[in-house]
A and B are shown apart, each in its own frame.
Chain A
């Protein structure tokens, strides 16, 4: 099975900072990659699909890139409401594996 590895596991940044999270697939998955945001105590929310397409209603400070095995989620200007854990997920085929998560905090 394909493994999904995120880095870093956690990060702390200041409001307004540019934040980058990476996700690596152990084999190529084309662009079948999604990013989710889970705020503390809340249900996961789809942010990006097809590696770079923003889900409706998601702020434009979020962006995604990549194809094949290497992917990136970028928050262009970190806001207090972005405190959350972010997960990548492959959905090309089963198992639809998630990455282990990246916890984003405000410094």
Chain B
């Protein structure tokens, strides 16, 4: 069964840092683009970042560019999101999501999410 499981969320002060992790299983991890999507409380979905299967290409939403860094370890089938200089508006549930296919595709597998709260 294909699945992804996020971890690493928590409460952090404004300006602080947090590292989220996503452990994948049940599929050929290195073949797929992996993504982070967030959802602020009571709000819609916001795509945050993506990383190619080889890790050679990374992509970011303008709202996090320069503050967040996505990475992956294909030997451990994990993808991470390093979040620095956090702001109150970064408070959200962060979902890890797998591309449906090895070419351009939407997200077919989502984790349960991990909550990040940025507050003093």
- Rounded to whole Å, the gap between the CB of B83 and the closest CB of chain A is 17
Residues of A within 8 A of B50 (CB): 94, 96
Interface size on B, residues (CB 8 A): 22
- Contact-residue size bin, chain A (C-beta under 8 Å from the other chain): 20 to 34
**With the chains together, A92 CA to B37 CA distance in Å?**
16
- Rounded to whole Å, the gap between the CB of B54 and the closest CB of chain A is 16
Main secondary structure of the interface of B (DSSP, over half): strand
Q: Which of B45, B61, B105 contacts A36 (CB 8 A)?
A: B45
Q: Which of B60, B104, B106 contacts A46 (CB 8 A)?
A: B106
- Is A91 interfacial (CB 8 A cutoff)? yes
Main secondary structure of the interface of A (DSSP, over half): loop
- Is B111 interfacial (CB 8 A cutoff)? yes
- Is B2 interfacial (CB 8 A cutoff)? no
Chain A interfacial positions (CB closer than 8 Å to B): 1, 32, 34, 36, 38, 43-46, 49, 55, 85, 87, 89, 91-101
